[in-house]
Amino acid sequence: MFLEKDTNSKSRTGWIEVVCGSMFSGKTEELIRRLNRARIARQRVQIFKPQIDTRYSESEVVSHDDHAMASIPLQNASQILFYSNEFDVIGIDEAQFFDDELPYVCDQLATAGLRVVVAGLDMDFQGHPFGPMPAMMAIAEYVTKVHAICMKCGNLAQYSHRTVAGEKLVMLGETESYEPLCRKCFTEANRKHR
């Protein structure tokens, strides 16, 4: 363990916030907004992302509306502990791509007195819980589910429907490969592909 527990627990309380939802729902935008507000409050902030996520930038977290923040790309969740000693607030983007150690790491950070803000897809393209996200939601003090707009009917969308062929769980892509759909449209789209 590389992070020391805060011995003055009355002055510093940590917690975990999870922002989840489908693709194009504003998860990263919300993560960046929360971290920017922490910076305005003169808190020391660091953001991490999985190395696999190189869609917009190798070294920045970038939202679909082009808001960006410098980040540290990592291969696995346990590496976060190496970089977290000097900070008050830790952000983690695309959390679904991290390994199953992420909940343990985030728990350690919060117990040490840090605020941890995690953003990620709660479901994969098949509509199943994605990676460590279910465990992250279970241990978080705060969970915010954000929604996109269904590309078929205009209702709130909570599913990331893959529009290109492929059964591989992790396939990086944007609007050329995925579209947000509501439950009804997602169910109909999946019936057509069976």
d(CA 2, CA 105): 11
Q: Which of 1, 86, 93 is nearest to 47 (CA)?
A: 93
Tell me the HSE value of 105 on the side-chain side, using a 13 A CA sphere. 24
Concerning whether 94 is annotated as a catalytic residue, the answer is yes
Identify the active-site residue in 17, 30, 94, 179. 94
> Can you read off the two tokens belonging to residue 116?
């941890």
Query: Residues with Cβ < 8 Å from 164, sequence gap 6 or more?
Result: 171, 173, 176, 177
Cβ contact 23:53 at 8 Å: no
CA 172 to chain centroid, in Å, comes to 15
d(CA 60, CA 45): 14
> Can you read off the two tokens belonging to residue 37?
């507000």
Could you give the residue numbers annotated as active site?
94
